[in-house]
């Protein structure tokens, strides 16, 4: 115990003296500052012929000090000393002195506590209370010195909010913004009140029934094109402060802003998409009024398989299961009364190669693979890339061109012999027309006179098949009353004769042929008020969905 004993306040101090030797066996006595310890409720002494242990329960700072064990017999006396430190919270600091007192602030100083709790003082926490109250509130913490300048001691209503301004208007609304007041009255700001009045009126009108906790308000339902004054006041527990008023009269007009958009880094470069994947073009937009958004490709508006979602803040184009025909330049045009802005995104299709590791690595770890390509009718092999992965998507290939690829494995000794692919013509994958029946189930449809007939069937095939609808072996043509959407395979059939029975069938057609027809159950057109239901048989897992236009 040369380093002494350290315990926390409230713990038990335990000091053991071992190897107490002598003939005859000596007597051991524990003392501190010349006072001998005697057994009590808190002090316990345990002796054996060669050891002695002193235990003191519920240690406090007064137990800190130097402890002495004395061993004696008729032939002599032996003493050993042990230092004990009890760690506790510090004592109170010295008296607080106030100086330089004014209405705004005062300077407080104090002395360090006489008792530091056994370790250095890290910081101070300062609290205050009004003499008329019992509650203490925290004024500051983590004070490193024995000095602090206390401010905001006097409580007042807050000063006026800073920088009041109208940031936007329409013909009937105004967006009012402001900042915190420079003076909060020595208290927390709990809210704001906003008022307005028409030019020429004397009375101010509250814009909200309750105080606001934010620094912005859109004031609605104002007179179209009117002229208004606006002001805002801050509130604390002492009350409402002086208002801050916008100096100039505000006229309500629709503000115009040129259209604009922001392409992220990926879209600013050429977007490379693997065949069968999805093209996703997300572009934030802005403009006042909200600009009209147009997407085109090769000067033709996007439609069909492209799903376009546009709001006042973004436009999104999604093309699922893309093919080589979806590659190209996509042009975005924004236009409003303030002007026009255009931009574009280049989309490129790719081919994917894959291979396996060589069976033998040549006694050295494979460090990568070299890919080369050769066009048909060419003797030249062109380096494509060097990678570590076991697959690669090759960009910038020419459509309808035949390519052969070869891959070399590389280790520290050099390249392996190449493994060549079969010749491949870069073209869109083609499949015959068909129907995806997996997600369609038998349904019960109730229709009444005046409703539309709506048939929805998922169609498969590459390229996308054209769809022909027939009614009683007669092809249904697009008219003002009949709408055919090939991409969704939906047809609306009006003017069915009540009481007649109909059968509908659909075929998919592409350049590789005509698919087998899908035929509906016979349908009888009738009014729904007699609680009759139209139930259609499913083919495999396919259900035809009709909503009848019965006249």
Q: Give the lowest-confidence range in 69-78, 154-163, 342-351, 497-506.
A: 497-506
Residue 463, exposed/middle/buried by CB under 10 A (0-12, 13-18, 19+)?
A: middle
For residue 289, what are the contacts with CB-CB under 8 A and spacing of at least 6? 254, 256, 336, 337
Domain ranges of the chain: 5-87, 97-151, 162-251, 258-343, 355-425, 432-535
Range 360-366 average pLDDT: 90
CATH number of this structure's domain 258-343: 2.60.40.10
Task: State pLDDT tens for residues 75-90.
Answer: 999 999 999 999 988 8
The model's pTM: 0.37
Q: How are beta strands 5-8 and 76-87 bridged, if at all?
A: parallel
Mean pLDDT of the chain: 81
pLDDT band at 536 (very low <50, low <70, confident <90, very high): very low
Work out the percent of the chain whose per-residue pLDDT is above 70: 79
pLDDT of 139: 85
The DSSP bridge pattern shows strands 97-99 and 76-87 to be unpaired
Per CATH, 5-87 and 355-425 having the same topology is answered yes
Q: What is the pLDDT of residues 36-82, one digit of tens each?
A: 999 999 999 999 989 999 999 999 888 999 999 999 999 999 999 99
**Which of 284, 229, 231, 237 has the alpha carbon at shortest distance from 261?**
284
CA angle (518 as vertex; 512, 519 as ends), nearest 5: 145
- CATH architecture of the domain 162-251 equals Sandwich (2.60)
Cα gap 539→435, rounded to integer Å: 10
In this predicted model, what pLDDT tens digit does every residue of 483-517 receive, in sequence order?
666 554 445 566 566 666 777 777 666 545 566 66
Pick the CATH number of 355-425 from 3.20.20.80, 2.40.50.140, 1.10.520.20, 2.60.40.10: 2.60.40.10
Q: How many whole angstroms separate alpha carbon 334 and alpha carbon 339?
A: 8
Q: What is the 3-state secondary structure (H, E, C) of 109-167?
A: ECCCCCCCCCCCCCCEEEEECCCCCCCCEEEEEEECCCEEEEECCCCCCCCCCEEEEEE
pLDDT of residue 287 exceeding 60, the answer is: yes
The predicted pLDDT at position 520 comes to 65
**104 pLDDT above the threshold of 80:** no
Question: What does CATH list as the number for 5-87?
Answer: 2.60.40.10
More confident residue, 153 or 481: 153
Torsion of CA 395, 398, 404, 408, to 10 degrees: -20
Query: Which CATH number applies to 432-535?
Result: 2.60.40.10
């Amino acid at each position: 115990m040369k380093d002494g004993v350290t315990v926390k306040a409230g713990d038990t101090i335990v000091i053991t003296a071992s190897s107490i030797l002598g003939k005859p066996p000596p007597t051991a006595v524990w003392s501190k500052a010349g006072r001998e310890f005697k057994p009590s409720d808190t002090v316990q002494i345990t002796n054996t012929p060669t050891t002695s242990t002193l235990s003191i329960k519920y240690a406090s700072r007064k137990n800190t000090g130097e402890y002495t064990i004395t061993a004696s017999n008729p032939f002599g006396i032996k003493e050993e000393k042990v230092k004990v430190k009890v760690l506790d919270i510090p004592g109170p600091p010295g008296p607080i002195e106030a100086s330089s007192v004014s209405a705004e602030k005062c300077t407080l100083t104090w002395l360090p506590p006489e008792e530091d709790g056994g370790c250095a003082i890290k910081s101070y926490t300062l609290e205050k209370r009004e003499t008329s109250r019992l509650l203490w509130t925290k004024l500051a913490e983590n004070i490193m010195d024995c000095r602090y300048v206390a401010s905001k001691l006097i409580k007042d209503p807050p000063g006026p909010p800073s920088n009041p301004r109208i940031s936007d208007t329409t013909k009937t609304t105004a967006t009012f913004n402001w900042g915190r007041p420079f003076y909060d009255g020595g208290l927390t700001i709990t809210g704001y009140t906003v008022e307005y009045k028409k030019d020429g009126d004397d009375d101010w009108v509250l814009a909200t029934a309750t105080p606001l906790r934010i620094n912005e308000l859109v004031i609605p339902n104002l007179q179209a094109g009117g002229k208004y004054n606006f002001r805002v006041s801050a509130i604390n527990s002492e009350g409402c402060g002086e208002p801050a008023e916008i100096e100039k009269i505000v006229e309500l007009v629709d503000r115009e802003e040129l259209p604009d958009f922001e392409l992220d880094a990926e879209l600013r470069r050429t977007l490379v998409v693997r065949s069968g994947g999805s093209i996703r073009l997300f572009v934030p937009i802005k403009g006042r009024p909200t600009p009209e958004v147009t997407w085109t490709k090769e000067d033709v508006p996007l439609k069909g398989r492209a799903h376009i979602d546009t709001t006042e803040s973004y436009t999104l184009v999604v093309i699922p299961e893309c093919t080589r025909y979806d590659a190209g330049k996509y042009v975005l045009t924004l236009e409003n009364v303030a002007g026009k802005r255009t931009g574009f995104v280049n989309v490129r299709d790719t081919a994917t190669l894959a291979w396996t590791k060589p069976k033998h690595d040549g006694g050295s770890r494979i460090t990568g693979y070299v890919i080369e390509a050769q066009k048909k009718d060419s003797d030249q092999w062109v380096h494509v890339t060097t990678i570590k992965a076991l697959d690669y998507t090759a960009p910038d290939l020419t459509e309808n061109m035949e390519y052969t690829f070869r891959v070399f494995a590389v280790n520290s000794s050099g390249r392996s012999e190449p493994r060549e692919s079969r010749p491949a013509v870069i073209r869109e994958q083609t499949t015959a027309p068909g129907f995806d029946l997996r997600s369609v189930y038998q349904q019960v449809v109730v229709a009444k006179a005046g409703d539309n007939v709506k048939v929805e069937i998922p169609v498969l095939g590459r390229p996308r098949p054209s769809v022909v609808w027939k009614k009683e072996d007669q092809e249904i043509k697009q008219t003002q009353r009949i709408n055919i959407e090939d991409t969704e395979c939906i047809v609306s059939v009006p003017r069915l004769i009540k009481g007649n029975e109909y059968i509908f069938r659909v075929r998919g057609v592409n350049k590789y042929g005509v698919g087998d027809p899908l035929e509906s159950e016979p349908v009888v057109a009738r009014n729904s008020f007699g609680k009759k239901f139209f139930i259609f048989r499913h083919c495999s897992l396919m259900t035809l969905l009709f909503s009848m236009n019965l006249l």
